[in-house]
Structure 1
Amino acid sequence: MLFGAIEAGGTKFVCGIGNENGEILERVSFPTTTPEETMGQVINFFKDKQMDAMGVGTFGPVDPNESSPTYGYITSTPKIKWRNFDIIGELKKHFNIPFGFDTDVNAAALGETEWGAAKGLDSCVYMTVGTGIGGGAVIRGEMVHGMLHPEMGHILVKRHPEDDFAGNCPYHQDCLEGMAAGPAIEKRWGKKGIELQEVDKVWEIEAYYLAQAAVNLIYTLSPKKIVLGGGVMHQKQLFPIIRENVKELLNGYVQTNEILSDIDQYIVPPGLGDNAGLCGAVALAKKACGI
């Protein structure tokens, strides 16, 4: 079987064709501009492709409730032109196939449990740290939804004692995203993260916030794996600092091998690499077909 896959990001859209084994056979990407221009490119890419279903993992917030009149919409996004955009409705005008739909991070979490770092486990959390911060969760094999969907990027965090940065979130100022997303790093230090690789203090502060997020996830969802992806996590020096901070913050309260002796295998980068979101969209398409 062949599946269409869309990873709709705030910066770029990645489209591809994958199979039931999670192999990406073809992919293309282009910048996220207006809905009219971007969706025109999406439809043009897929129009001659053979597909049994399509999966869409998108930036949010979104409405993933199939019984809701706004199911398939991108809702109250800060990207004004995309606010209340019916992305699934637009695709259904052109393709008469089943659709799977969720946030990009829920899709990535599903992909990681199917084929990636959490393969063989029935739970994991995937958090992306890039232009924004978002998180998705799979628990007992199902993506987590509730009143809406998880908004892990906006949890509240304690301020690093040496950090006087006010925060960068337009809604909450100094939430996790406001303190630790890529734009927060750039605004705090006056340079992009990639230009600050050798400045230890940058990553000490960054890891402090991301470790708090991991600890909150351990306490609330108890996932069997925490996967950290996104552009900021390309700074591989972050992982050991985050793990050490997590152990310090837990302070012996969680007595499991995953924390005490195997934390290097518990808080990890995506097994699917930069294809985590696209493979996740393939997994959504598979799920839409009931397989």
Structure 2
Amino acid sequence: MQKEKLIAGHSRIKPYIHNTPVLSSSMINHLVGAEVFFKCENFQRGGAYKMRGATNAILQLTEEQRSRGVVTHSSGNFAQAVSLGAQSLGVTAHIVMPSSSPEVKKKGVIAYQGFIYECEPTLEARESTANKIAQETGATPLHPSNDPDVIIGQGTAAMELLQNHTDLETIFCPVGGGGLIAGSALAAHYFGKNCKVYGGEPFEADDAYRSLQSGKIEGNKTTNTIADGLKTTLGDNNFPIIKEHVNGIIRVTEEEIVSSMRLIWERMKIIVEPSSAVALAALLRDKSQFKGQKVGIVISGGNVDLGNLPF
């Protein structure tokens, strides 16, 4: 059933997304000791993979639901994705953003004609504000990472990667709310050949690592990380998929994230945000485990506040 959903979802969103390029770097290959293929979702519409899930979810709504609009909460990339997806389909987008969201992401939402509602930078404030807007406007809530249609849409990035490179042995993704890694794990399961999936996560926001250890969804004890897109927690729809299909989570330090981000900027000449660099940082941290393999990395996005770079 999930395989059919991935195929149908990919077909559904195709007119609205880019089939993003896959790049590699001989220098990074040498550094890792493996062949690494980067699925560059920083070149996606809206600057991140989240355009896939947002578009798939909006396209699954009825005409009546679309007429009442959609509402979501997001620190940035899903906010932009919902705004752009909604704009493309003539739907009103109500976007709840924490006050700490990067300015570049707020500007993106405004450019895509989304309506921003700022709130305190806590998950509780985000959810309560979004629920209030849904009640007042009749807008359909879209969860950034736990909506089943969003998860399927996000999985299409890894699906495309595996169509280009059918012999990948491992795929790495950053882990925030869990939508990308859950969707990627489904894609690897159905379209890969014994392809394993690993997540990269900051030590400063390691709820997914601890959730896999305990077998239940854990909250974040801290979110003091430069990877602003990875501060959210897993959900009850994506966690069962992660438990079943993800092989492990590798945690990384803030220094490793910045170093990997810089490496991609300098060697690959592309702009990636800190959250994207977490996946490469995880691979580099544990590279001996993947030596000689063909490894895919989903570069999740490239929406960076250029006035606030970490290097």
Q: TM-score, normalised by structure 2?
A: 0.31
More helix per residue: 2
Question: Which has the higher Rg, Structure 1 or Structure 2?
Answer: 1
Q: Between Structure 1 and Structure 2, which shows a larger proportion of strand residues?
A: 1
What TM-score results when the alignment is normalised by the length of structure 1?
Answer: 0.33
